[in-house]
Amino acid sequence: MVTEGGSSTAPFDLAGRRVWVAGHRGMVGSAVARRLTETGCQIQTVNHAELDLRDQAGVNDWMAFHRPEVVVLAAARVGGIQANATRPADFLYDNLAIQTNVIHAAYRLGVRKLLFLGSSCIYPGRAPQPMGEDALLTGPLEPTNEAYAIAKIAGLKMAAAYRRQYGCDFISAMPTNLYGPGDNFDLEASHVIPALMRKAYEAHASGGSLEVWGTGTPRREFLHVDDLADACVFLLAHYSADEPINVGTGEDIAIGELARMIAEIAGVEAGLSFRSDKPDGSPRKLLDVGRLTALGWRAKTPLRDGLAETYRWFETHYDSARLRVG
Ligand code: GFB
């Protein structure tokens, strides 16, 4: 395991430990829970109907009763560019409340290891590319997701503060844009990949074109959620430091090119149409994944394969997936 000073110690062993995956119904949490089944740990989960993570007393009671030894904090309000831009209060309040309650209770109950998940949008909107961890707080945030980014920055700083003040082994990972089975396919709230998949499915059926928001020129890096889950388990075992660590593929693609790939996978024949009234957001978001690569972890899923697999999942879950909202 790599620690503060870069020194190596024995990996943190998950086998036999009680591991709470907060947010296990979401795309990320469910992938992490699937991956954790391979580690021999005892996975703990709780449904939203039983526990609202924004309720501090409820979180304290649930954690005191179930006593997780490890926490993966994958619960969050997430959404695409439009949801972020139009519902900043929800993104700030929900995320600040969830992470504050869980991190503080984890400290009070002596949780041995906690992984906080952030997002590449914590970095400035015009940060030099690729974005290293040292780009944090060096410039203004991208306005379309400022609220979410502020909440996530507070979360990673909170994890680091509890490390420093109380010696807690709390770490933070910053994943790039994610996709995969179990994503949110609601057209107003979702990220670009599920939105384009749903629109492509419907365009294929109707013979229409695939509608793409913005100019198609912004570039994004996309990581399959199973790769993220694998990285989470790797980091729990091998990472222990104040600084957040980036998780991505190190490669990006223009949105127009991504849309062409999805159109091809879905068999859309009428081409693309661009909605110039919709925002582009950041011109480019590519992470520098050098620190994670140096520790020995790399993403495995080629984008085209991951898209094809996710599209097959969406086709078979069309009726339920399109009704899921974030
Ligand atoms: O995935 P997305 O919503 O998130 O949009 P961001 C990425 C790019 O795809 C933008 C374009 O340039 C969009 O304009 N795009 C094209 C579309 N067609 C569509 C479509 O039909 N739906 C959507 N949603 N986009 C989010 C942040 O930013 O990234 C979050 O708002 C979070 O806070 C997340 O950080 C990872 O990459 O722009």
- Taking the centre of ligand 1 as the mean of its atom positions, its distance from the CA of residue 193, in whole angstroms, is 8
What predicted TM-score, i.e. pTM, was given to this entire model? Answer: 0.96
Extract the runs of DSSP E, i.e. beta strands, from 16-82. 18-22, 42-44, 70-73
> Could you give the CA distance from residue 68 to residue 22 in angstroms, rounded to a whole number?
11
Counting atoms of ligand 1 from 1, which one is nearest the CA of 79? 30
Distance CA 71, CA 1 (A): 18
166 is an active site residue = no
Confidence of residue 325 (pLDDT cuts 50, 70, 90): very low
Mean pLDDT of the chain: 95
Question: What ligand 1 atom has the least distance to the C-alpha of 119?
Answer: 35
Q: Which two tokens stand for residue 195?
A: 């939105």
Cβ atoms 229, 216 nearer than 8 A: no
The pLDDT confidence band at residue 7, using thresholds 50, 70 and 90, is low
CA-proximal residue: ligand 1, atom 3 (nearest)? 80
Q: Per the omega criterion (within 30 degrees of 0), is the bond before 130 cis?
A: yes
Q: Which of 28, 84, 148, 191 to mutate to test the pocket of ligand 1 (most atoms within 8 A of CB)?
A: 191
* Local structure of 287: helix, strand or coil: strand
Main-chain dihedrals φ then ψ at residue 13, nearest 5 degrees: -95, 125
Does the pLDDT value for residue 177 go beyond 90? yes
The confidence score (pLDDT) of residue 9 equals 77
Task: Judge contact between 299 and 103, C-beta under 8 A.
Answer: no
In what side-by-side order are the strands of the sheet with 219-220? 253-254, 219-220, 284-285
Predicted pLDDT at 161: 98
User: What 8-state DSSP symbol labels residue 143?
Assistant: G
- Euclidean distance between CA atoms 279 and 85, whole angstroms: 9
> With a 6 A CB cut-off, is 132 part of the ligand 1 pocket?
no
Catalytic residue from among 107, 123, 148, 239: 148
CB 248 within 8 A of CB 288: no
CA distance 127 to 131: 7
- The amino acid occupying position 259 is A
pLDDT per position as a tens digit, 62-113? 999 999 999 999 999 999 999 999 999 999 999 999 999 999 999 999 999 9
Contacts of 124-128 with CB under 8 Å at 24 or more apart are 125/282, 126/282, 126/283
Tokens of residue 45, six digits: 């989960």
Structure tokens at 7: 């020194």
Residues 6+ apart with CB under 8 A from 274: 211, 212, 213, 214, 215, 216
The tens digit of pLDDT for each residue in 207-231 reads 999 999 999 999 999 999 999 999 9
The answer, yes or no, to whether any atom of ligand 1 lies below 6 A from the CB of 81, is yes
Pocket flag, ligand 1, residue 177 (CB < 6 Å): yes
Report pLDDT digits (tens) over 129-165: 999 999 999 999 999 999 999 999 999 999 999 999 9
Q: Given a cut of 80, is residue 184 above it in pLDDT?
A: yes
